Amino acid sequence: MLRGKDRALPVSETLAGLKCGEISALDAAREALTRAKRCRIDINAFSVLDKKGALAAAAESERRYKDGTPRPLEGVPVAVKDMIDTAGCETRYGSQAFVGNVPIRDSAIVRSLREAGAVITGKTTTHEFAWGVTTASEAFGDTLNPHDKSRIPGGSSGGMAAAIAYGAVSAGLGTDTGGSVRIPAALCGTVGFKPTYNRLPSQGIFPLAKSLDHPGILGAAMEDVIALSAVFGLEAQRPPEKLRIAALPHLPPVPADTATAAAFKAFCQQLEPLARITPLQDTEMFEGLFDAFADTVLVEAGTEHSALHDPEFIRETYQPETASRIELAQAKSVSDLTSARKRTWQFQSDLARLFEEFDFLILPTCPCTAPLRGQAELTIGGWSGSERQVLMAYTAPFNLAGTPALSLPVQHLTGSELPVGVQLVAASGNDEMLLGLARRLEGILQPAA
For 85-129, the pLDDT digits (tens) are 999 999 999 999 999 999 999 999 999 999 999 999 999 999 999
Residue 236's CB is within 10 A of a number of other CB atoms, namely 22
Tell me which residues are annotated as active site: 81, 156, 180
Q: Please tell me the distance from the alpha carbon of residue 46 to that of residue 49, in angstroms, as a whole number.
A: 7
Is the pLDDT confidence value at 278 over 80? yes
Tell me: the pLDDT tens digits for 9-51? 999 999 999 999 999 999 999 999 999 999 999 999 999 999 9
Partners of 90 in beta bridges: none
pLDDT score for 330: 87
Per-residue pLDDT band for 339 (boundaries 50, 70, 90) equals very high
Q: Please tell me the distance from the alpha carbon of residue 102 to that of residue 50, in angstroms, as a whole number.
A: 12
pLDDT score for 229: 98
314 and 205 within one domain: no
Per-residue pLDDT band for 430 (boundaries 50, 70, 90) equals very high
363 and 431 within one domain: yes
Is the pLDDT confidence value at 448 over 80? no
H or E, element range at 355: helix 334-357
Q: φ and ψ at 397, to 5 degrees? A: -55, -30
pLDDT score for 335: 87
Which residue segment(s) compose the domain that 363 sits in?
244-282+342-411+420-444
Is the pLDDT confidence value at 332 over 90? no
Whole-prediction pTM: 0.97
Residue at 64 is within a domain = yes
Question: Average pLDDT, stretch 376-396?
Answer: 96
H or E, element range at 353: helix 334-357
3 state DSSP class of 76: coil
pLDDT score for 242: 87
pLDDT score for 321: 95
pLDDT score for 449: 59
pLDDT score for 105: 98
Residue at 132 is within a domain = yes
123 and 45 within one domain: yes
What lies within 8 Å, CB to CB, of 321 at 6+ separation is: 128, 131, 132
10 and 135 within one domain: yes
256 and 327 within one domain: no
CATH of the domain at 44: 3.90.1300.10
Q: Please tell me the distance from the alpha carbon of residue 32 to that of residue 87, in angstroms, as a whole number.
A: 20
Of the candidates 10, 117, 11, the one whose C-alpha atom is nearest the C-alpha of residue 69 is 117
H or E, element range at 46: strand 46-49
CATH of the domain at 374: 3.40.190
What angle, 0 to 180 degrees and rounded to 10, lies between the N-to-C axes of helices 431-444 and 222-231? 160
Residue at 239 is within a domain = no
154 and 14 within one domain: yes
Contact call for residues 156 and 135 (beta carbons, < 8 A) = yes
CA atoms within 13 A on the CB side of 341: 9
Contact call for residues 85 and 91 (beta carbons, < 8 A) = yes
21 and 150 within one domain: yes
Residue at 347 is within a domain = yes
Contact call for residues 95 and 131 (beta carbons, < 8 A) = no
Q: Please tell me the distance from the alpha carbon of residue 198 to that of residue 186, in angstroms, as a whole number.
A: 23
Q: How far is CA 3 from the centre of its chain?
A: 23
Tell me: the pLDDT tens digits for 145-192? 999 999 999 999 999 999 999 999 999 999 999 999 999 999 999 999
Q: Please tell me the distance from the alpha carbon of residue 146 to that of residue 165, in angstroms, as a whole number.
A: 7
Tell me: the pLDDT tens digits for 195-223? 999 999 999 999 999 999 999 999 999 99
205 — alpha (psi -120 to 50), left (phi > 0) or beta?
Answer: beta
Contact call for residues 165 and 344 (beta carbons, < 8 A) = no
Residue at 196 is within a domain = yes
Per DSSP bridges, beta strands 77-81 and 46-49 are: unpaired
For residue 81, the one-letter residue type is K
Residue at 449 is within a domain = no
216 and 79 within one domain: yes
Contact call for residues 322 and 128 (beta carbons, < 8 A) = yes
Contact call for residues 126 and 45 (beta carbons, < 8 A) = no
Alpha helices in 174-232 (DSSP H): 182-188, 222-231
pLDDT score for 71: 98
Task: Give the DSSP letter string of 253-284.
Answer: TBPP-HHHHHHHHHHHHHHTTTEEEEE----G
Domain total of the chain: 3
181 and 52 within one domain: yes
Tell me: the pLDDT tens digits for 291-319? 999 999 999 999 999 999 999 999 999 99
Alpha helices in 68-199 (DSSP H): 108-115, 158-166, 182-188
Per DSSP bridges, beta strands 171-176 and 77-81 are: parallel
Is the pLDDT confidence value at 265 over 80? yes
161 and 131 within one domain: yes
Q: Please tell me the distance from the alpha carbon of residue 106 to that of residue 108, in angstroms, as a whole number.
A: 6
399 and 426 within one domain: yes
Specify burial of residue 20 (Cβ count, 10 A radius: 0-12, 13-18, 19+). exposed
Q: Please tell me the distance from the alpha carbon of residue 319 to that of residue 301, in angstroms, as a whole number.
A: 15
Is-cis flag, bond preceding 229, omega within 30? no
Q: Please tell me the distance from the alpha carbon of residue 272 to that of residue 276, in angstroms, as a whole number.
A: 7
Question: Average pLDDT, stretch 348-354?
Answer: 97
175 and 54 within one domain: yes
